[in-house]
Structure 1
């Protein structure tokens, strides 16, 4: 009797960007996912941090640029959603790093 193939979970990383520190949300939920899903990590960055900010600052595009060297040349699949300028910045960062366009999936949030 043959055994089913072992599934290897792929690592997943979430970069959540907000404008200001008071805009941060969902930390309890993210921590719960990180506890339950092996290989999941998240970072929250603040674009316009206040003086008390101790975590990452900038945008998700900045965090992506800093994280890509850790991959040793492996091009990850990217899933980005947000306002068009943010999505465009992430896509530019990805292109500069040599990530093929078909590996960068996007959804732009438009004002309603």
Structure 2
């Protein structure tokens, strides 16, 4: 592999930091608005909201590899997500499969 110039390395690091900052901001916004919705529509208080927030973050960490095309557990996580969501919706609607729900997710590479 050709050696990258210092400028390209710095630029790549800046882009990574910008992406990570954007993802962190989007995650914080999602968490804030979820907590607000639970309070405003369901009347939930601090303790209940913090319990669901903690569990929500744990589930996100557990299934994070579903979005990583290089992770060998990605397809398993995707299948588990589909199975759990199908159980939730049961006969109320048809499950949209993982690839259709996440059309911009990269395809799994299986070691390539």
Q: Comparing both chains, which one has the higher relative contact order based on Cα–Cα distances under 8 Å and sequence gaps of 6 or more? A: 1
The structure with the greater share of residues assigned to helix is 2
**TM-score range with shorter-chain normalisation?**
0.3 to 0.5
TM, length-normalised to structure 2 = 0.32
The structure with the greater share of residues assigned to strand is 1
TM, length-normalised to structure 1 = 0.32
